[in-house]
A and B are shown apart, each in its own frame.
Chain A
Amino acid sequence: MQIDIEAVKKEHVGFAFDETTFDIKAETLANYARGCGETEARFLDPGHPDFRAVPNYASNFHGRRNLPENFPADILRSFDAGKCVENLAPIRPGDTITGRSHIHDIYEKTGRSGPMMFVVHRMEFTNQDDAKVAVVDWRLVMRLGEM
Chain B
Amino acid sequence: MVLITLVSSDEQNFPVERELLKQSGTIETLIVNMNLDDEDTDAAAMPIPLPNVKGDVLEKVIQWMEHHKGDPVKEGDNEDNNAEIVVPQWDDDFFKPAMYGSKHLELTVAASYLDIKNLLTLSCKAISNTFKGKTGPQIREEWGVPNEFTPEEEEAIRKENEWSE
A-B complex is real: no
